[in-house]
A and B are shown apart, each in its own frame.
Chain A
Amino acid sequence: MSPPVADPFASSPFLNKVATLSRPELEAFQLRKVQKLVARLYAKAPYYADRMKAAGLTPDAITSLDVFRDRFPTSDKKSFLEDQLAHPPFGHRLGIDPGEVALVNMTGGTSGQGQEIYGRSQRDVHHLGYLHALPWYMGGLRPGDIAVNCVPAGGMTTGGWGPGEGIRIIGATGFHVGGATSTESKIDLMLKLGRVNFIYASTNYLHTLTETMLKRGITPREAFPEMHGLFIAAEGYPLEWAEEIEKHWGCRLQEGYGSTQLMGFGASTGSDGVFGKDGKRGLMRLFEWETLYEILDPETGAPTAPGELGEMVVTNLSVEGSPVVRFKTGDAARYVPWNEVGDGKAWSAIECGTIGRFDDMMKIRGNNVWPSQIDAAVFAIPEFGDYAGRVYTRGGKTEIEVRLAFAEHLTDLSPEARAALIAKARAAIKERTNVWMDCEECPREALPKFDYKARRWKDERQSGYKF
């Protein structure tokens, strides 16, 4: 077990105040913020005002959170993109004067549907930093620390700007090495710094960084003994992998859930790490005083039962420019209500390590298969460095190919040991997905390396149907 993180609530009366709110106090706070937001948008954002009018709703009708959840229309990526197209560049959902926009962020465009655009005010820019600083503070980042941010900095994304603002307002020193330099150069820099206290990276990149260090004969916990926080986001992982990472680095692994729509992070493991008390998956606590969450069945729109997988539907409570109201994120999370977490806090939670995308789900031979399930099966076996998957059609039949590469530092595995590990991965994938997949070894360098979110799967079934 990795060493505990210094109690963030003991050293911050502000956070302690938020943490000791009762559920009725928290919900009353949320209602006041929702009422203020809705009144402002009714007056200043025709996109939302029109939707409210179409639903027969006025701001003064929002007398409770239940009324809001039952009657305020949801939005999604498609409706935002239509709004932007009709009223470029920000759409009619901006909610502030265009001249007040101090920072423009866009979504990453990985869905292929188009990029949402967000105009943020000066106040938002600070808040964007705060919504990155908040989970990192809880996860161990403190004033005076040296933080290495491996996520590509700058550009148009929220993830490109937030870390810089977040580390700065904490009072730490940030080295924003993501994207611009090779993994080898990042390691060289880290070794020269003398101490590194905190790393922020995508799950995939922390894996790459660790694997490359091991290949160079560097033991991270020995090279960086003052490390007290590793923080990952963006992708799922198996607990076996998390255990290996904590062992290599000698400190606790934390995870956050964030997005452009949330203007930063909306949930994190706090200081608890990714393991629950029982050694199973831990929880990410929702920052419910900043965002109103609903976890709904994506087909029926009904609230998801505790423990079930649902779609995150979010409403910003503090954002001025381009706020989202009841926005259907497409993110799939397993929900745990506040009163089932059992630690006295009023914050609900989602399971960590398993966030997925409803639009990433692949229907294979009648089974719902998620890339995160195959990630979990493969990376639970520490000998594997990475893999790539392909679904295609051959002779009218769906085939699945998984190419597995061994970790770069493992060069002395015998052919028999390699074959046994490939067979083990195949069985683990079948166990998690109910689908037998063709697994084969490939060289590590044959697979792409990703700076941020890994895209390991290709679905080529459509092209297989061409004559």
Chain B
Amino acid sequence: MAETNDDAILREMLALADRLCAQATDTMMTGQYAFLRARIDALLELRGAAE
């Protein structure tokens, strides 16, 4: 499928979420950040834009 502007924004958001998860050391927040990242990742997947 052709890349749309939505996909591009979601990709940027995923990259930001990856950064957030990678630097997180607060164990009260790590699960919540991973949850946020998973939501973005799921949107990219269902839009067929995950590759």
- B35 CB contacts on chain A under 8 angstroms: 168-169, 171
- Determine if B31 and A14 form an interchain contact, defined as CB atoms under 8 angstroms apart: no
- Determine if A171 and B31 form an interchain contact, defined as CB atoms under 8 angstroms apart: yes
User: What is the minimal beta-carbon distance from B25 to any residue of chain A, in angstroms?
Assistant: 8
User: What is the minimal beta-carbon distance from B40 to any residue of chain A, in angstroms?
Assistant: 14
Number of residue pairs across A and B with beta carbons under 8 Å?
38
- B10 CB contacts on chain A under 8 angstroms: none
- B51 CB contacts on chain A under 8 angstroms: none
- B26 CB contacts on chain A under 8 angstroms: 11-14
A411 to B32, CA, bound (A): 48
Task: Spell out A's residues near B (CB within 8 Å).
Answer: 8, 11-15, 126, 130, 133-134, 137, 142-143, 168-172
- A130 CB contacts on chain B under 8 angstroms: 32
- B29 CB contacts on chain A under 8 angstroms: 12, 14
Chain B count of residues within 8 A CB distance of the other chain: 10
- A171 CB contacts on chain B under 8 angstroms: 30-31, 34-35
Shortest beta-carbon contacts, A-B, top 9: A171-B31, A12-B28, A170-B31, A11-B27, A169-B32, A12-B26, A169-B35, A143-B31, A13-B26
- Determine if B28 and A172 form an interchain contact, defined as CB atoms under 8 angstroms apart: no
Task: Spell out B's residues near A (CB within 8 Å).
Answer: 25-32, 34-35
* Contact residue among B28, B30, B31, B34 (Cβ-Cβ distance under 8 Å from A8): B28
Main secondary structure of the interface of A (DSSP, over half): helix
A320 to B3, CA, bound (A): 35
- B31 CB contacts on chain A under 8 angstroms: 133, 143, 168-172
- Determine if A11 and B34 form an interchain contact, defined as CB atoms under 8 angstroms apart: no
A285 to B28, CA, bound (A): 18
- Determine if B32 and A12 form an interchain contact, defined as CB atoms under 8 angstroms apart: no
A134 to B32, CA, bound (A): 11
Look across to chain A and name the residue whose beta carbon is closest to the beta carbon of B27.
Answer: A11
- B27 CB contacts on chain A under 8 angstroms: 11-12, 137, 142-143
A14 to B29, CA, bound (A): 8
A13 to B35, CA, bound (A): 19
User: What is the minimal beta-carbon distance from A134 to any residue of chain B, in angstroms?
Assistant: 8
Look across to chain A and name the residue whose beta carbon is closest to the beta carbon of B29.
Answer: A14
- A168 CB contacts on chain B under 8 angstroms: 31, 35
- B34 CB contacts on chain A under 8 angstroms: 171
Question: Most chain-A Cβ atoms within 10 A of its Cβ — which of B26, B28, B32, B35?
Answer: B28
A13 to B30, CA, bound (A): 12
Look across to chain A and name the residue whose beta carbon is closest to the beta carbon of B38.
Answer: A168
- Determine if B28 and A15 form an interchain contact, defined as CB atoms under 8 angstroms apart: yes
Look across to chain B and name the residue whose beta carbon is closest to the beta carbon of A167.
Answer: B31
- B28 CB contacts on chain A under 8 angstroms: 8, 11-12, 14-15, 133-134, 137
- A137 CB contacts on chain B under 8 angstroms: 27-28
A316 to B2, CA, bound (A): 45
A142 to B29, CA, bound (A): 11
A134 to B28, CA, bound (A): 8
- A15 CB contacts on chain B under 8 angstroms: 28
User: What is the minimal beta-carbon distance from B27 to any residue of chain A, in angstroms?
Assistant: 5
A274 to B7, CA, bound (A): 50
Question: Most chain-B Cβ atoms within 10 A of its Cβ — which of A15, A134, A143, A169?
Answer: A169
